[in-house]
Structure 1
Amino acid sequence: MRFKKQKRHRKTVRFYTACFGFREPFKVLCDGTFIHHLLANNLSPQKSVSNTLGGDVQLFTSRCVIEELKSLGSSHAESFHAARKECKLARCEHEGNKSALDCIIETIGKNNSEHFFVATQDVDLRKRFQKVPGVPVLFGLRNALFLEQLSSFQREFVKSAEEQRLRATDLDRKILQKRAETILKSEEEGDASIVGTGAGDEVARDQVSVNKRRDRNRMEVKDKVQFKRKRPKGPNPLSCKKKKNHGSSNPKPEKDDKTGGSAQRNRPRRRKRSRKAKTSSGTEVASS
């Protein structure tokens, strides 16, 4: 049930955004009865309205609504403080204080130019706004909020507006006729400049047709998107670099072998050391 309600609300909000130009953050004009109903059912005004419409919202009220809540006394004191704290003030162009009902009707006007959602618990006000195009209405039922479904008047208004957009007005027809006349005149002047006397007329016409074809071909080539072909790439030049010789720059000279050869000795020469043996008296005797 909850999923169906959210789906229905999204569909209604989408209708108003597409046909009447409503945009986020949605502006909601609240009256005193709506704010009092939310607080009585322990609902947060900002969060509950945002969840119902499925987007960011800005809550508005009028100066006349706040004055009416203030005049109701201690029973509506909490609603009075909540309206002042959480709602912005919409402009009231009338002089002096009016009833909240008349103030909201005057703020909305005939076409709802400010794109307000109206949140109210007043049944008469809800029925009144069903006959005004582009005015969605919110109302509360216990601990849930509902968005008023589209009325037949609003659906017919949207259909008639779409049909009028499809039809051409008198101003559009005059503009089209002027453009057609200017195009015909330009074509006639071009044909007259081509026409001449003598045998060169046919050559001139052929030349003009060839030029037109060239211009068309050029335009077609410019309009087409040119894609680069992927060609095989060469090897990485760093991978083909020759290896460096890390050997010593000054090699040792080769020594002659005992046999007279020029090959280098494989084993290094060892130094012969004399061994000395110690006697019993402590003197050292060199071994022969």
Structure 2
Amino acid sequence: MRLKKQKRHHRIVRFYVTCYDFRKPFKVLCDGTFVHHLLVNRITPADTALSNLLSVGGNEGAKLFTTRCVLAELKSLGDSYSESFKAAYNLKIARCDHTSRKSALACIMEIVGENNPEHFFVATQDTDLRKKFYEIPGVPLIFGLRNSLHLEPPSSFQRQFAKSVEEKRLHMSDLEYKMLRKRARKMLDKEDKDTSDADEGLRDQILAAENLSKTSSSNMAGDMKDRPQFKRKKAKGPNPLSCKKKKIHKLANLKLEKVSKCIFLYLLIA
């Protein structure tokens, strides 16, 4: 049973954290009836009990607050509430802007306001005060039952308000829609300008390439005309000086020698 209670309280705290932006350390605004209930049922220390209730601990424990009007009301109740007055006097004081003294109920209602800007958990035993806070969004309620503390589940009004706020977040407002259209128009104009610049750049590149090809072809033609035209030499016979002399065969030399000898002998005989 205790585990189910802790899980239920954890879901309630997570609802207010998610939907109403509550943050640790949580602040608890206590009235005189709640402080008196804590003392009568010996739920001490109060900050530890409330930290356990809200599932926070250590340096992020719950911070307890009260108001000057609550202290004045406890003091006016006499000796029967003197211990409650001393206990409430040790709590932190939440600032209330009204100058003259008001009742504790009116003071707490004024501090919480229409949307609970300080994100207070309100701890009270006053059923009328709790019913009034059912119709105010983002006001979690804590009450005591004998020697245990309980966290009030969110009312149907608070759940419906959180749902409507979430739906508004999902849809754009008129100002956001106008800003989005203006931004989209600027982006389209920029893209059109970039594409036109790119087309012009591509066109310039094509013209430059064509001019370069024309100039290169004309330069090549001019170079061909300016070059001297050489006639190719036709192949001629070998150089006689570089050729070797023909060798006379040995047999031919012997025949010439014989013929010369015969002629010489014939001349001698004659």
Q: TM-score, normalised by structure 1?
A: 0.67
* Partner residue in 2 for 1:170: 174
Residue number among 106, 109, 112 corresponding to 1:105 in the alignment: 109
Aligned partners of 1:166, 1:202: CA distance in 2, in Å?
54
* Partner residue in 1 for 2:87: 82
Q: CA deviation at 1:198?
A: 8.6
Q: CA deviation at 1:89?
A: 0.4
The alpha-carbon distance between structure 1 residues 75 and 90, as it changes in their structure 2 partners (threshold 3 A), is same
* Partner residue in 2 for 1:154: 158
SS at match of 1:149: coil
The higher relative CO (CA closer than 8 Å, separation ≥ 6) is in: 2
* Partner residue in 2 for 1:53: 54
Residue number among 68, 72, 75 corresponding to 1:70 in the alignment: 75
Aligned partners of 2:207, 2:135: CA distance in 1, in Å?
71
Deviations 1:108-141 (A, max 9, x none): 0000000000000000001111110000000001
What stretches of structure 2 of length at least 5 have no aligned partner? 211-270
Deviations 1:117-167 (A, max 9, x none): 000000000111111000000000100110001111011001100110111
Q: Which has the higher helix share?
A: 2
* Partner residue in 2 for 1:12: 12
Residue number among 96, 101, 104 corresponding to 1:92 in the alignment: 96
- How many residues are aligned here? 203
* Partner residue in 1 for 2:247: none
What root-mean-square deviation, in Å, do the aligned CA atoms of Structure 1 and Structure 2 show?
A: 1.9
> Which residue identity does 1:71 align to in structure 2?
S
> Which residue identity does 1:52 align to in structure 2?
L
* Partner residue in 2 for 1:218: none
**Are 1:195 and 1:201, in contact at CA under 8 Å, matched by a contact in 2?**
no
**Which residues in structure 2 correspond to 1:227-266 (within 5 Å)?**
none
Aligned partners of 2:150, 2:208: CA distance in 1, in Å?
79
* Partner residue in 2 for 1:254: none
The alpha-carbon distance between structure 1 residues 183 and 66, as it changes in their structure 2 partners (threshold 3 A), is same
Same amino acid, percent of matched pairs: 56
Q: Please, which moves more after superposition, 94-103 or 17-26?
A: 17-26
Aligned partners of 1:203, 1:147: CA distance in 2, in Å?
81
* Partner residue in 1 for 2:135: 131
SS at match of 1:145: strand
Asked which structure has the greater CA Rg, the reply is 2
Aligned partners of 1:160, 1:202: CA distance in 2, in Å?
64
Q: CA deviation at 1:184?
A: 2.2
SS at match of 1:96: coil
